[in-house]
């Protein structure tokens, strides 16, 4: 048997109804804030992520699904390496093959959405069209160790505000608006006990000073820390704050914090974000250990967590990335965005919103009874569906008992019997499967009668 690949999974009904419920709430809420949908490709050139996400990040350095295109390079290489030439000399790799490698393009399944959206923003000069609020829903791919709430193909709901400074995209009002939108969405979905953690990671200047201070503070203690931290201390000391190893935590507690290094502009920006959040009633806690995993973040960084999720408790994360557009060869275009982990959002929802409460079961199961009845049943089903009813349709070979079983299994409210007598009378037996009540209803009244909520 061929199974789904490790770290991927099938989303089955009725759970998919919860996913649809989430996505339609997302579309409604985002619309109210004037966001519009963008759909970018599932794969992009590897360089986009190397530059946009950062070579130093875990994502780029070890989690991406990357290949050379055309993709059958490994098979060719294997052949080259294992086959002797015509004269029987030992195998060598021909120079032409090595050259052909250079002309192959390195492609990557997207591990996140921001880089692709900013690429599209630059490529299509979206600022000219006044498009500065975009969202995207879709699968992302990271080769992480699978566990509860962590998959290799997972789904993100991503939104970005990006644009020239003249459009106010650098304003703290955007940060607050985005956070308020998220609070509205979570409340609307009935996720009550979320926490918003907020920080400012400053701008590159602040960070240079902070990194120096961190390096100094780490020097005497890093030998006692985990291997990852020892590497981070050299490559990007800020990442030490991502460390989850319990033994390292007491040391991390003693390290300097970015909040002590913010310049006047960043401090004022951060204060303004907090002021608006307080005024609109969005609760938050400050967490100056929150540095986020990606290189391009500036100023505001945030994360929403949910207690019920266990170890992987982050439902969403995001922040400001004022330098990203320029890093990708575009114009100066400050931006801020977030990515919601849809898998985790659905998990945190499942207690309050069960699949049963959002799935739309058939209103009626139409049961043709006896040879030749499929035709009339098809006609009736078509009529009823035109009235926006959910109709499941049986088959004339089913005996009445089987039709009842099928209707019950499908969760239909009514069963409608289409037999020869009914067709002659042009009135049909309609039975309520919950109460057992059965009535004969003229064709013209069927839709109205089925719609009546008991
Ligand atoms: P990030 O892009 O790493 O900031 O992640 C944003 C959100 O995506 C996280 O808060 C998680 O909810 C979700 N997420 C990230 N990686 C995974 C994964 N491997 N499996 C499921 N959800 C994930």
- β-bridge partners, 136: 158
The string of pLDDT tens digits covering residues 64-83 is 999 988 877 777 777 777 77
Q: Up-side HSE of residue 193: CA atoms within 13 Å toward CB?
A: 8
Q: Select from 341, 346, 348 the residue to mutate for testing ligand 1; criterion: most ligand atoms less than 8 Å from CB.
A: 341
Task: Give the confidence band of 373 by pLDDT, cuts at 50, 70, 90.
Answer: very high
**144 contact partners, CB below 8 Å, separation of at least 6:** 7, 63, 150, 151, 152
Return the pLDDT at 127: 95
Atom of ligand 1 nearest to the CA of 315: 12
Q: Select from 52, 244, 311, 314 the residue to mutate for testing ligand 1; criterion: most ligand atoms less than 8 Å from CB.
A: 314
- β-bridge partners, 339: 158, 317
CA distance linking residue 97 with residue 76, whole number of Å: 9
- β-bridge partners, 365: 392, 415
CATH number belonging to domain 360-453? 3.40.50.800
Residue 112 CB–ligand 1 contact under 6 Å:
yes
Going by CA atoms, what residue is nearest to atom 8 of ligand 1?
341
Residue 141 CB–ligand 1 contact under 6 Å:
no
Residue 197 CB–ligand 1 contact under 6 Å:
no
The string of pLDDT tens digits covering residues 262-294 is 999 999 999 999 999 999 999 999 998 888 656
* 385 DSSP 8-state letter: H
CB 137 within 8 A of CB 23: yes
CA distance linking residue 178 with residue 186, whole number of Å: 13
Chain Cα centroid distance, residue 99: 39
- The mean pLDDT value of the chain amounts to 92
CA distance linking residue 189 with residue 19, whole number of Å: 11
Asked if residue 63 has a cis previous peptide bond (ω within 30° of 0), the answer is no
Query: What are the sequence ranges of the domains in the chain?
Result: 15-44+111-203+263-349, 360-453
* 396 DSSP 8-state letter: T
Using only the alpha carbons of the chain, give its radius of gyration.
29
Q: Up-side HSE of residue 69: CA atoms within 13 Å toward CB?
A: 11
Asked if residue 14 has a cis previous peptide bond (ω within 30° of 0), the answer is yes
15-44+111-203+263-349 against 360-453: fold identical:
no
Under DSSP, is residue 344 helix (H, G, I), strand (E, B) or coil?
helix
Q: Quick check: 426 pLDDT over 90?
A: yes
Q: What fold does the segment set 15-44+111-203+263-349 form as a domain?
A: BirA Bifunctional Protein; domain 2 (3.30.930)
CA distance linking residue 304 with residue 317, whole number of Å: 6
Q: What are phi and psi of 320, to 5 degrees?
A: -90, 145
Residue 144 CB–ligand 1 contact under 6 Å:
yes
The string of pLDDT tens digits covering residues 341-356 is 999 999 888 777 888 8
Return the pLDDT at 162: 97
Please provide the size of the chain in residues.
454
CA distance linking residue 367 with residue 374, whole number of Å: 9
Range among 98-112, 240-254, 337-351, 417-431 with highest mean pLDDT value: 417-431
Q: Quick check: 406 pLDDT over 90?
A: yes
Chain Cα centroid distance, residue 417: 44
Angstrom CA distances, 77 to 71, 92, 94, 108, 256, stand at 11, 10, 10, 20, 50
DSSP state string for 234-294: HH-GGGGGG---GGGHHHHHTS--GGGT--HHHHHHHHHHHHHHHHHT---EE-TT---S-
- β-bridge partners, 428: 441
Which has the minimum average pLDDT: 124-133, 284-293, 398-407? 284-293
Residue 151 CB–ligand 1 contact under 6 Å:
yes
Going by CA atoms, what residue is nearest to atom 13 of ligand 1?
341
């Amino acid at each position: 048997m061929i199974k789904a690949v490790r770290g991927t999974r099938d989303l089955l009904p009725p759970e998919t109804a919860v996913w649809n419920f989430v996505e339609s709430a997302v579309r409604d809420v985002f619309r109210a804030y004037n966001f519009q949908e963008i759909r970018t490709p599932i794969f992009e050139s590897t360089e986009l992520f190397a530059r946009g996400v950062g070579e130093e990040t875990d994502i780029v350095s070890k989690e991406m699904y990357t290949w050379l295109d055309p993709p059958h390079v490994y098979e060719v290489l294997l052949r080259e390496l294992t086959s002797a030439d015509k004269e029987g000399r030992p195998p060598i790799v021909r120079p032409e093959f090595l050259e052909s490698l250079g002309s192959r393009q390195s492609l990557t399944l997207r591990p996140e959405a921001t880089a692709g959206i900013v690429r599209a923003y630059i490529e299509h000069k979206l600022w000219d069209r006044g498009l500065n609020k975009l969202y995207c829903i879709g699968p992302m791919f990271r080769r992480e160790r699978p566990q509860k709430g962590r998959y290799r193909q997972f789904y993100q709901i991503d939104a970005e505000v990006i644009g020239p400074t003249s459009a106010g995209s650098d304003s703290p009002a955007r940060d607050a608006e985005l956070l308020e939108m998220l609070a509205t969405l979570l409340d609307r979905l009935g996720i009550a006990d979320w926490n918003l953690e907020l920080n400012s990671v400053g701008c590159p200047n602040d960070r240079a000073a902070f990194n120096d201070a961190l390096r100094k503070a780490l020097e005497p203690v890093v030998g006692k820390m985990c291997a990852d931290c020892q590497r981070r201390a050299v490559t990007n000391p800020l990442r030490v704050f991502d460390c989850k190893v319990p033994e390292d935590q007491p040391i991390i507690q003693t390290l300097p914090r970015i909040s002590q290094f913010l310049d006047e502009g960043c401090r004022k920006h951060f204060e303004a974000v907090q002021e608006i959040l307080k005024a609109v009633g969005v609760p938050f806690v400050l967490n100056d250990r929150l540095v986020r995993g990606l290189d391009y973040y500036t100023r505001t960084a945030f994360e929403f967590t949910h207690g019920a999720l266990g170890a992987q408790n982050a439902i969403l994360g995001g922040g400001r990335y004022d330098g990203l557009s320029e890093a990708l060869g575009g114009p100066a275009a400050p931006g801020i965005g977030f990515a919601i982990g849809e898998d985790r959002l659905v998990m945190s929802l499942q207690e309050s919103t069960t699949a049963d409460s959002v799935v739309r079961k058939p209103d009626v199961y139409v049961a043709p009874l006896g040879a030749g009845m499929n035709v009339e049943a098809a006609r009736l089903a078509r009529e009823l569906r035109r009235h926006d009813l959910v109709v499941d349709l049986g088959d004339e070979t089913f005996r009445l008992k089987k039709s009842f079983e099928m209707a019950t299994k499908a969760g239909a409210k009514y069963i409608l019997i289409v037999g020869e007598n009914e067709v002659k009378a042009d009135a049909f037996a309609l039975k309520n499967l919950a109460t057992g009540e059965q009535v004969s209803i003229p064709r013209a009244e069927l839709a109205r009668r089925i719609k009546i909520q008991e």
